[in-house]
Homo-oligomer: A and B are copies of this chain.
Amino acid sequence: MRKKAVSLISGGLDSCVASYIAKDKGYDVFGISFRYGQRHEKEIDCSKKIVKSLNAKEHKIIDIDFNQFGKTSLLKSSSVEIEYHRLNNIGNQIPTTYVPYRNTVFLSISMSYAESIDADSIFIGVNSIDYSGYPDCRPEFIDAFQKMANLASKKSIEGKKIKIKTPLINLKKYEIIKIGSRLNIPFEETWSCYRGKEKSCGHCDSCLLRLKGFKEAKLKDPLQYEFLPKWYTI
């Protein structure tokens, strides 16, 4: 019987690459996505397309309303505007797009799913190099979560621990994109922009990190942008 992995699929590029890595390593992939009160449905639409292209066994879309207590600019309840950044400022401070304990909540729910289907791993595309500075993307957080999870559940205390796998955590964005290219991921189905307009904005942290990655990987991003920074040339 093939091994099972739950993979967190946000609709973005990193989680798509992480999911394809799981598949490449011989896992049956069980996708999970979260409708947590985002400004737009684009991420969820993309997650569905990625699940299809991956040929995942299942896709759970979980509703969890962070708008009930969120104040961050990523949520639709927010009046805070998403900042425009310069590339060299990204990661220096935690941005307004931060949602408190988002990955903690997502990983906890994914653990519950993983235990219910007897999966032995969870894949999550967190990255602590070319990232926005969120504390719950760092290796020390993942390690602490793993230790906690090992004590939290019936199967874990019976000896069947679920391992959190973070294949991208120490990679640069261009390395992630190169792996994605090798694994033939559908870049055109991934969405990174914090705004949910028809085209990507080309201004937000997430667009800038993505464009920088494609530039350094010497590959062309197939997405359409409203604006392209001067430094982005292929």
A interface residue numbers (CB < 8 A to B): 60, 62-66, 68-71, 94, 98-105, 108-109, 111-113, 115-117, 135-136, 138, 140-141, 144-145, 147-157
Set of chain B residues within 8 Å of A156, measured between Cβ atoms: 135
Cα distance A115–B145 in the bound complex, in angstroms: 18
The 9 A-B pairs with the shortest beta carbon distances in the complex, nearest first, are A144-B148, A100-B115, A69-B116, A101-B112, A104-B108, A105-B108, A148-B148, A100-B112, A108-B108
Set of chain B residues within 8 Å of A70, measured between Cβ atoms: 112, 116
Set of chain B residues within 8 Å of A135, measured between Cβ atoms: 151-154, 156-157
List the B residue with the shortest CB-CB distance to A93: B154
- Shortest A113–chain B CB gap in Å is 5
Secondary structure call for the A interface: helix
Cα distance A63–B63 in the bound complex, in angstroms: 8
Set of chain B residues within 8 Å of A151, measured between Cβ atoms: 135-136, 138, 140-141, 144
List the B residue with the shortest CB-CB distance to A136: B152
Question: Which among B71, B105, B155 is the interface contact of A105 at CB below 8 angstroms?
Answer: B105
Some 7 contacts from A to B, beta carbons below 8 A apart, are: A60-B68, A100-B115, A102-B112, A104-B111, A105-B109, A135-B152, A144-B152
List the B residue with the shortest CB-CB distance to A141: B151
Are B105 and A112 in contact, with the CB atoms below 8 A? yes
Set of chain B residues within 8 Å of A100, measured between Cβ atoms: 111-112, 115-116, 153-155
Are A113 and B147 in contact, with the CB atoms below 8 A? no
Are A115 and B101 in contact, with the CB atoms below 8 A? yes
- Shortest A164–chain B CB gap in Å is 12
Cα distance A111–B109 in the bound complex, in angstroms: 14
Are A62 and B64 in contact, with the CB atoms below 8 A? yes
Are B141 and A112 in contact, with the CB atoms below 8 A? no
Cα distance A99–B109 in the bound complex, in angstroms: 11
Set of chain B residues within 8 Å of A157, measured between Cβ atoms: 135
List the B residue with the shortest CB-CB distance to A106: B108
Set of chain B residues within 8 Å of A101, measured between Cβ atoms: 108-109, 111-112, 115, 149, 152-153
List the B residue with the shortest CB-CB distance to A61: B68
- Shortest A166–chain B CB gap in Å is 14
Set of chain B residues within 8 Å of A104, measured between Cβ atoms: 108, 111-112, 148-149, 152-153
